[in-house]
Structure 1
Amino acid sequence: MKTAHTLLLLGFAAITFACNNSKETTSTETNTEMTTTETATTNLPYNKNSKYNWEFNPDQKNEAIVLNVFKAMEQLDHQTIGKYTADSIVSNIDGVKFKGTREQIMQLNKDFFATLKTLKVVPTDWRSVVNKDKSEEWVSVWFTQHWEDQKGQRDSVNVFNDIKLKDGKITAWNEYLQHFPKP
């Protein structure tokens, strides 16, 4: 009887391995990222909108612009940020929507920076993407932001930014915050 059970289990295992969905994976490593292409028979509940078909942007120009803006933020330097901002900008910062001119956003930055004593940005990852027809370029950045206000109060948040650039200028800035729980 034990032999029959053993044979039955071995047969089941052989069928399972023989019916295993095959996955073909190809990996190529570039300077800072790993790109993986998978071909599988998984049925997904949604179809992609192939209009965009995003891909990693191998040109690091946009990443450099965004990271220079972050460095200017740390130095509370709204003038340098203005150099990288388009004539008009749209933003959604933690649910607060803004649509206006470079001068308006620079004034908001100046007013905000005046409330701070220090600001520290600690990026953990960033990716630059471009869509198939090269009409949109975005840089996504994950980071922790620490600050001390003029009253000596310190705080920090985890942040995700999605920043749209056109011709080397920021045209849209979306920011989402994850507040740490109060002790």
Structure 2
Amino acid sequence: MKKISILLVAVIAAAAITSCKNADSTSKATKDSAQVPTAYAYTIEHPDNWEIGSSANTATALSALKSWEKGKFDECVKYFADTTQVMFDGMDKKLSNDSLKVLLIGSWNNYKNVSVTMKDWESVIAKDKSEEWVTLWYVQYYDDGKGAKDSVSVINDVQIKNSKIVKLAEYTRKFH
């Protein structure tokens, strides 16, 4: 019985040592492959420039959208800087906070009601800390002024500086 116990302990010890060596080599291989530059099909000035950003920036972008969804425009514009660049299909303008509020109210007036189903978000910061962005992916459901129901897939890219939205780029795809 004593021989079996010694044999069992030896087998377990060997398995543990082998497992640790495999884990170390896997970890080393992962680190090595992360340092090998990838050959991309296109080149840009700053490849792989982004790191995970601030959850506070995500909260700012989400709160601004929620305020717009609920038709609370005074609250919504509080998340924006004094001047914001807005980029929608067919529009690229810098607007004062007051002009932005007028634009948001005008866009919402096309709807009887609106609801947003959030799909995902990502906050990123440039490695040199020069830019911070939040991207939101969501579906917007709405009833137009005539009562017709519809929906659109939306991506918002929001640049945040000093805890305020300074750029808003919106991309939409209507469902068929």
**In which range does the TM-score fall when normalised by the shorter chain?**
0.7 to 0.9
Say which SS state the counterpart of residue 142 (structure 2) adopts. Answer: strand
Please report the TM-score for the alignment, with normalisation by the length of structure 1.
Answer: 0.73
Which string of whole-angstrom CA distances, capped at 9 and with x for unpartnered residues, describes residues 86-138 of structure 1?
11111111332222211111011112222322111111110000112212110
Matched-pair contact (CA < 8 Å) for 1:139–1:162 = yes
How much does 1:64 deviate? 0.4
Does structure 1 residue 160 correspond to structure 2 residue 165? Answer: no
Amino acid in the other structure paired with 1:25: T
Matched-pair contact (CA < 8 Å) for 1:63–1:127 = yes
Matched-pair contact (CA < 8 Å) for 1:85–1:171 = yes
Name the count of aligned residue pairs.
Answer: 148
Q: How does 1:25-174 map to 2 (within 5 A)?
A: 25=30, 38-40=34-36, 43-50=39-46, 53-57=49-53, 59-174=54-169
Gaps of 5+ in 2: 1-27
Amino acid in the other structure paired with 1:38: A
Gaps of 5+ in 1: 1-22, 27-36
Matched-pair contact (CA < 8 Å) for 1:160–1:175 = yes
Matched-pair contact (CA < 8 Å) for 1:73–1:119 = no
C-alpha separation between the residues in 1 aligned to 2:143 and 2:37?
Answer: 51
Say which SS state the counterpart of residue 82 (structure 2) adopts. Answer: strand
Which string of whole-angstrom CA distances, capped at 9 and with x for unpartnered residues, describes residues 120-178 of structure 1?
11111100001122121100011101111232122111111110011111100011111
Greater share of helix: 2
Please report the TM-score for the alignment, with normalisation by the length of structure 2.
Answer: 0.76
Q: 1:147 to 1:107 in 2, by over 3 A?
A: same
Matched-pair contact (CA < 8 Å) for 2:118–2:139 = yes
C-alpha separation between the residues in 2 aligned to 1:42 and 1:107?
Answer: 46
Say which SS state the counterpart of residue 61 (structure 2) adopts. Answer: helix
Matched-pair contact (CA < 8 Å) for 2:125–2:133 = yes
Identity level (%): 34
C-alpha separation between the residues in 1 aligned to 2:47 and 2:154?
Answer: 28
